[in-house]
């Protein structure tokens, strides 16, 4: 499943415009973002600068990797976004620790909202600290009510751009009203 890790630039160098368009339209890549965002990623990989680094690897931007992890509905993909000993706390709750804990947290979200789609609204970075503003939509599995939940996460990243610590926030009262149909 792409991208579980860095992409070898040789994989994409010789693609033509039609191949790029088809790849975006007919593959899970379209879930990485808008067609223009994915096209920008692919164009970068096809630039002369990347050609100078044949065989080099490119790690997709943090916002794209996180969105892809959630939008492929795989708890393990979400957990891979975290460091081995990474942790997440949501709304002052109990922490989920390690990749197994993060996968458990993600599995809970996917059970509650099996058609969950996450959109990155904005990212702010300062060194290894990131604020990730996001909106997720979907249908609550228990009530079949549509959801639109706005929130954010604060991340501390390690040298490999994996999350060491995440503090997530969303309006739990609003979530409750939406699931109840109010």
Q: How far apart are CA 35 and CA 31, in angstroms?
A: 9
pLDDT interval class at 80 (50, 70, 90): confident
Q: What is the CATH number of domain 62-180?
A: 3.10.450.50
Strand segments (E) across 30-145: 57-58, 82-90, 96-97, 117-126, 129-139
Least confident of 9-13, 23-27, 101-105, 122-126: 9-13
pLDDT > 70 fraction of the chain, expressed in percent and rounded: 63
Q: Which position has the higher pLDDT, 153 or 125?
A: 153
Q: How far apart are CA 166 and CA 99, in angstroms?
A: 12
Give 165's Cβ-side CA count (13 Å radius): 4
Residues, the chain: 182
How much is the average pLDDT of 119-126?
Answer: 80
What's the token pair of residue 69? 């992890």
The alpha carbon of 140 is separated from its chain's Cα centroid by a whole number of angstroms, namely: 20
Instruction: Using alpha carbons only, give the angle 57, 58, 63 rounded to the nearest 5 degrees.
Output: 155
Summarize pLDDT for 126-165 with one digit per residue, the tens: 878 888 889 999 999 999 999 999 999 999 988 877 899 9
Q: How far apart are CA 63 and CA 105, in angstroms?
A: 19
Whole-angstrom CA distances from 158 to 74, 83, 166 are 22, 7, 12
What's this model's pTM, rounded to 2 decimal places? 0.67
Question: Can you say whether the dihedral through the CA atoms of 78, 85, 111, 75 is positive or negative?
Answer: positive
- Residue limits of CATH 3.10.450.50 in the chain: 62-180
Q: Is the pLDDT of residue 31 over 90?
A: no
């Amino acid at each position: 499943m792409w991208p579980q890790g860095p992409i070898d630039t040789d994989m994409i160098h010789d693609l033509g415009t039609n191949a790029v368009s088809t790849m975006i339209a007919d593959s899970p890549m379209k879930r990485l973002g808008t067609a223009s965002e994915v096209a920008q990623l692919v164009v970068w990989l096809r630039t002369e600068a990347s050609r100078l680094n044949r065989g080099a690897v490119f790690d997709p931007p943090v916002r794209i990797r996180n969105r892809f992890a959630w939008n492929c509905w795989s708890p393990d993909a979400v957990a891979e976004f975290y460091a081995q000993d990474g942790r997440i706390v949501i709304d002052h709750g109990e922490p989920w620790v390690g990749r197994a804990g993060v996968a458990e947290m993600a599995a809970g979200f996917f059970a509650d909202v099996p058609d969950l789609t996450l959109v990155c609204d904005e990212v702010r970075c300062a060194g290894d600290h990131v604020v990730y503003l996001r909106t997720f939509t979907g249908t609550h599995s228990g009530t079949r009510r549509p959801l639109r939940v706005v929130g954010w996460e604060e991340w501390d990243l390690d040298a490999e751009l994996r999350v060491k610590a995440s503090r997530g926030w969303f309006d739990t009262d609003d979530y409750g009203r939406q699931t109840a149909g109010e």
